A and B are shown apart, each in its own frame.
Chain A
Amino acid sequence: MRTVTSSDIADRVAEMVVRANRFLPPDVLTAINRAKGNESSPSGKEILGQLEENAALARESGLPLCQDTGMAVFFVELGEQCRVEGASLREAITQGMVRGYQDGLLRKSMCHPLTRKNTGDNTPAVIHVDLVEGDGLKIFFMAKGGGSENMSRVTMLSPAQGWKGIKEFVINRVAEAGPNPCPPTMLGIGIGGSFELAPRLAKQALLRPLDQPHPDPEIARMEQELLDEINTLGIGPMGLGGDTTCLGVRISMAPCHIASLPLAVNVQCHSARHEEVEL
């Protein structure tokens, strides 16, 4: 049994949430830069240039990339042979998140769903824990903005609709969302599982870097097919028209009930902020 202290976890999380909000991941920066080179619309090119400038300014000034510093979403892989000492794992992550959002001058964006009263410290964090083999502890963090989250959808397709139905739903979703989720976006797509598992798969899929295609070549081909079709929609950066509507599609699949075909589309804006730490 390996022991990790809750204060170590909190310290690493506090540091990680601030870093994620200031530094755009290298795969996203590379994708934006490449898209700028290929973009035929002058306004699209200009917007992509502004996003690069914004990323450079955030990196240098310490300002967050976007004022919406997000819901704090965590995916945790906890080894069965790893024990957390001190506070509980959830408390440790929450404490670190709260400290990071306070000290790092990040916006507190969580509120009561009906009274809309702000909770004041960005709590609660959304924490998904998976028990895995071994004695490791890996924590993935995503700062998920509200604008792109609002454009996400989950649906229960009929098995007969298959891949064609999936494609139609995803493409219509992107078309309908148009300029709203800050394109160029990234899409996490959960196919299969259950009503609650599909959206989780979709969100988790967004953690896979853009330069890393799905290990299954057939699914990688499907990701590319969807991406190519989405980029013929002409929505473009900020919806002003152009070739760059989406920077990457990432699919995650799981078996489902013989009666069902659950599908979730998690839309992520270009400011795809995520980080991970290993303890």
Chain B
Amino acid sequence: MSKEYRLQAPLRDEDVIKLKVGDRVLLSGIIYTARDAAHKKIIQALESGSELPFPLKGAVIYYVGPSPAPEGRPIGSAGPTTSYRMDSYTPRLHSLGVKATIGKGKRSQDVKDALVRHNAVYFGATGGAGALLSQRIESSKIIAFNDLGPEAVRELVVRDFPLLVVNDAFGGELYAKPNLPD
């Protein structure tokens, strides 16, 4: 039976270890946005030993490139982008303390193994519901790579951001396996 949790980001090991595939999480606190180009730059920063845009320990990374904010709102539409494009970067980030990523779609076996090895989770948010999800974002601030435009790294404060545990720290997988004829 799936459970519901309210969690506070950054996440601790004890938050992650209790999560199982199919559980619902309402996440509040500080999370960071990063997608394709930002991931590449974060890995470059790790390699050159330069400063990282945010502390990786306990971090939750949201794969999103929001639309511009209307006046009086912190952000525009802000739903998840497809996660597999970040797969080649993700295991390293988990090994350095990142506790969760938020996106949509399948992850590679390497990512799933990294979740088990480093006690981390992959959350799914509803794709194509960016207007709705933006209502759970209270503030947004660009903290790095401003030149990347929609791909810049943002610090978001979220309240009760609705998530599903798609891959847990025990090797579980939520996505349905297609019924293909043999």
Q: Which residues of A contact B (CB under 8 A)?
A: 47, 50-51, 53-54, 57-58, 61-69, 105-109, 116, 118, 120, 146-147, 150, 171-172, 174-175, 178-182, 232-236, 238-242, 269-271
B23 to chain A, nearest CB (A): 12
B16 to chain A, nearest CB (A): 21
> CB-defined interface of B143-182 with A at 8 Å, one 1/0 digit per residue?
0000011110000000000001000000000111111100
CB nearest neighbor in B for A118: B149
Check if A65 sits within 8 Å of B127, measured CB to CB: no
A247 to chain B, nearest CB (A): 12
Q: In the complex, which residues of chain B have a beta carbon less than 8 angstroms from the beta carbon of A238?
A: 104, 124, 126-127
> Complex: how many Å from CA A213 to CA B84?
34
Q: In the complex, which residues of chain A have a beta carbon less than 8 angstroms from the beta carbon of B124?
A: 179, 238
CB nearest neighbor in B for A147: B82
Q: B7-15, B51-59, B64-72, B110-118: which one contacts chain A?
A: B64-72
Check if B76 sits within 8 Å of A178, measured CB to CB: no
SS class, residues of chain A in contact with chain B? loop
A233-B178, A239-B105 given as contacts; is B76 within 8 A of A64 (CB)? yes
Q: In the complex, which residues of chain B have a beta carbon less than 8 angstroms from the beta carbon of A270?
A: 128
Check if A66 sits within 8 Å of B77, measured CB to CB: yes
Contacting B129 at CB < 8 Å: which of A50, A69, A106? A50
Check if B180 sits within 8 Å of A118, measured CB to CB: no
Q: Is B139 an interface residue (CB 8 A)?
A: no
Check if A68 sits within 8 Å of B65, measured CB to CB: yes
Check if A179 sits within 8 Å of B76, measured CB to CB: no
Check if B70 sits within 8 Å of A54, measured CB to CB: no
Report the interface size for chain B: residues with CB under 8 A from the other chain.
42
Contacting A62 at CB < 8 Å: which of B40, B70, B175? B70
Q: In the complex, which residues of chain B have a beta carbon less than 8 angstroms from the beta carbon of A53?
A: 129, 132
Q: In the complex, which residues of chain A have a beta carbon less than 8 angstroms from the beta carbon of B74?
A: none
Check if A180 sits within 8 Å of B82, measured CB to CB: yes
Check if B178 sits within 8 Å of A235, measured CB to CB: yes
Residue from B78, B130, B131, B150 having most chain A Cβ neighbours under 10 A: B131
Check if A233 sits within 8 Å of B179, measured CB to CB: yes
Extra pairs beyond A58-B131, A63-B134, A240-B164 (16, CB < 8 Å): A50-B126, A51-B128, A63-B76, A66-B79, A66-B129, A67-B64, A67-B77, A67-B130, A108-B150, A118-B149, A175-B178, A178-B175, A236-B176, A238-B126, A240-B175, A270-B128
Q: In the complex, which residues of chain B have a beta carbon less than 8 angstroms from the beta carbon of A178?
A: 105-106, 175-176, 178
